[in-house]
Amino acid sequence: MHRASSTVTRPHTGRSPVSTAAVGVAVAFLALGVLGFIPEITSDYDELRLAGHRSDARLFGLFQVSVLLNLVHLLTGVVGLALARTATGARGFLIGAGAVYLVLVVYGSAIEQDSAANFLPVDDADNWLHLGLGIAMIALATLGGRRRPRR
CA distance 58 to 81: 26
CA distances in angstroms from 142 to 54, 65, 93, 122, listed in the order given: 38, 30, 12, 28
Q: What is the pTM of this model?
A: 0.82
Number of domains in the chain: 1
User: What is the biggest distance separating any 2 CA atoms in the chain, rounded to whole angstroms?
Assistant: 75
pLDDT class of 15 with cuts at 50, 70, 90 = confident
CA distances in angstroms from 144 to 34, 84, 114, 139, listed in the order given: 31, 14, 43, 11
Q: Where are the beta strands (DSSP E) in 8-139?
A: 42-43, 58-59, 63-64
The reply to whether 3 falls in a domain is no
The reply to whether 30 falls in a domain is yes
The reply to whether 98 falls in a domain is yes
State the residue range of the domain holding 95: 17-141
The reply to whether 8 falls in a domain is no
Mean of all residue pLDDT scores within the chain: 88
